[in-house]
Amino acid sequence: MRVSRLYVPIPLASGKIIELDEDNEHYVRTVLRLKKDNAIILFNGEGGEFVCTVAEVSRKTVLIAVEQWQDRSVESPLQITLGLGIARGDRMDLSVQKAVELGVNQITPLITERCQVQFKGEKKPQRLLHWQKIAQHAAEQSGRTMLPVLPEIQHLQSWVGNQQGLKIFLDPYAEQTLNELMAETPHITLLTGPEGGFTDQERELAKSAGFIPVRLGLRILRTETASLAALAAVQMCWGDFGKRS
């Protein structure tokens, strides 16, 4: 039987009894419907995970008994940073969720010239928190023991100049393909656009910052397809898709 996993942003140690915060408490009680003595796995993003037991479930609190630590990791040997042009609604949610499953380490939502999402008032921090929650749940469900970072929403112009490693941006009009590149570093930075792609000016900006334009096949992919296809291809070329456990 599959044991549910939960991310908790607090120190963990065998023998401790911890009280879950309000969000995790609701999730354990209402969504998972766990009862006293049920097993659960906790991780805090510091590596490894803890086998735990539900010690108490009530209307006011959920207590977890932290038991055995397991030195377990399913992380890719690659350090992948993803600059993700903000897309509308479910497309962005899907891109964030699947990127986490595919092993990305950092996702920065980017405002580009053709971005169709407008942030007014409190919308920007609300959307960022929403994407961070999606990333957390994807890490829990995919078995990861590290939580990918989602920093503040940035403009493309301020983001591109601060990136490192092998820098690639997806461009359906590029001549070069991914398998023509050599990864001399385990740090890969991917840049993908929103609906409508990048403008000519943004393409030049990316290239001047050292990003290599790469196409994925002969077809033009939707924004949510392009980022996931690129991540899968990168993992196959230089990551852990071709490795045995």
How high is the pLDDT of residue 72?
86
Note the pLDDT of residue 3.
87
Domains of the chain: 5-70 (2.40.240.20), 79-238 (3.40.1280.10)
Rounded to a whole number of angstroms, the CA Rg of the chain reads 20
- The answer to whether 65 and 20 are in contact (CB under 8 A) is no
Q: Which structure tokens are listed for 152? A: 């503040």
Predicted confidence at residue 13, as pLDDT, reads: 92
Residue 217 carries which side chain, given as an amino acid letter? G
> Using a CB cutoff of 8 Å and minimum separation of 24, what contacts does 37-42 make?
39/3, 40/3, 40/4, 40/5, 40/6, 40/64, 41/3, 41/4, 41/5, 41/6, 42/5, 42/6, 42/7, 42/8, 42/12, 42/66
Low-confidence ranges of the chain (pLDDT < 70): 1, 121, 243-245
Residues sharing a CB contact under 8 Å with residue 190, sequence separation 6 or more, in sequence order: 80, 81, 82, 83, 168, 169, 170, 227, 230, 231, 234
pTM: 0.90
Helix segments in the chain, DSSP class H? 22-26, 89-101, 123-142, 156-159, 200-208, 223-238
56-76: pLDDT as tens digits: 999 889 999 999 999 988 999
Distance CA 1, CA 176 (A): 46
Residue 220 CB-half CA count within 13 A: 8
DSSP-derived letter for residue 178 is G
- Residue 120: what residue type? K
